[in-house]
Amino acid sequence: MSKISEGPVKGLHHITLVTSSERVNRRFYTEVMGLRRVKLSVNQDDIFHRHLFYGDENGTSGSVITFFEWPHLPSGQVGLGSPHHLAYGVKNLEALHKWATWLRMNGLRVSGPHRVGDRASIYFRDPDGFLLELATSIDGDIDEVALREMFSEEVEVEGITQDMRLSVMDHASPLATNPALLEQFLSKTLGLKRLAKRENPHDSQAVILGFGSEDHDFLRYILKPSIRVGFVGTGSIHHIAVKVESDEDQKKIMKTLDSIGIRHSGIIDRFWFKSLYFRDPFGNLLEVATAGPGYAVDEPPEALGTRLILPPWLEPERKRIEEALRLLDEQFPAKWPPIYRPAPEKPEKVE
Ligand SMILES: [Fe+2]
Ligand SMILES: [Fe+2]
């Protein structure tokens, strides 16, 4: 991968999905995935439903996965506008092996290890059916047969040890049909360059194009000439947020969008960061979010995520909001442990 000059986008900021149950979701992402809840709030555009944030211990941007709780929605469908999967990075093969064991111990139906490009990966579905990947960089000479042999040996795992801890996400994979249009769009709007083009070992008609800054291709679009239109529902990605360091960089991107006639949301103050939303030409919802001020702006770092936090302009509504959330929990009882759906045998295949 070639080094390129610095653009305004510095990696992923957060990725937002839809869940059907806060209680199941919280147990999965904290107890099984070992993340920390770093904010418990409400959807600012739909204030009587929760917005849940999980990340590493410090809520580092790029580690944060968030969920809108919409229990009444049907399951989403992967396709154009509804991204395929996301991957967290893990330290090394040993940690990946431990993860496969740990997840199976917890009743998940894991697919892998697989080799996709320069990564070894395992895949599994969360309680809402969303496809997650854990990935680690590997040397050129380890093939899938060698990986499988390695993983067939038993490894002792009693819990999530320090070497297994998840932090920054490795990549998100939306879908697209036209490589030239995609490349032009991402370069023009976000200054992202195509860093890699890979075969998709799970789908001979598809390729994987990696876009990013410096040497990390954190957006790994899967391209295929013909892909069905997807829709967002439970167990699917709602939007993918990339990070800019400053308000100025965000404004610059907005001006570019205006100059080329791309509709956008305008800049919205989300209190923990500022957001700007627009869609790529294939219907995927993207967000440009500022790195600061961060999740510790309204609660001390040690107490992150422990109580319902509302931005100041929603505080007057607290009573009504809490009552609505209580009713929602009553209406949609949670079941733990969930029944996990298996991950596909060829996880990066586009159906
Ligand atoms: Fe992937
Ligand atoms: Fe967002």
Average pLDDT over residues 157-162: 96
C-alpha 9 – ligand 1 centre gap (Å): 20
Distance between Cα 171 and ligand 1 center (Å) = 7
Q: What is the pLDDT of residues 199-236, one digit of tens each?
A: 999 999 999 999 998 889 999 999 999 999 999 999 99
Confidence of residue 141 (pLDDT cuts 50, 70, 90): confident
Q: Mean pLDDT, to the nearest integer, of 264-272? A: 96
Tell me how far the alpha carbon of residue 132 lies from the centroid of ligand 2, in angstroms: 18
Which numeric CATH code is attached to 9-331? 3.10.180.10
Mean pLDDT, the chain, integer = 96
Q: In what order do the strands lie in the sheet with 46-55?
A: 36-43, 46-55, 64-69, 9-19, 237-244, 285-290, 274-279, 264-269
Would you say residue 5 has pLDDT above 60?
Answer: no
Tell me which ligand sits closest to the C-alpha of residue 85. 1
Nearest ligand atom owner, CA of 132? 1
Give the confidence band of 140 by pLDDT, cuts at 50, 70, 90.
confident
Contact call for residues 131 and 347 (beta carbons, < 8 A): yes
pTM recorded for the entire structure: 0.96
DSSP H stretches of helix in 221-285: 247-260
3 pLDDT exceeds 50? Answer: no
Q: Distances in Å between the alpha carbon of 50 and those of 44, 235, 332?
A: 9, 15, 14
Tell me, in angstroms, the distance from the centre of ligand 2 to residue 66's CA: 8
- In terms of phi and psi (left: phi > 0; alpha: psi -120 to 50; beta: otherwise), the region of 7 is beta
CA pair distance 186, 233, nearest whole angstrom = 25
Q: Which of 233, 144, 225 is CA-nearest to residue 182?
A: 225
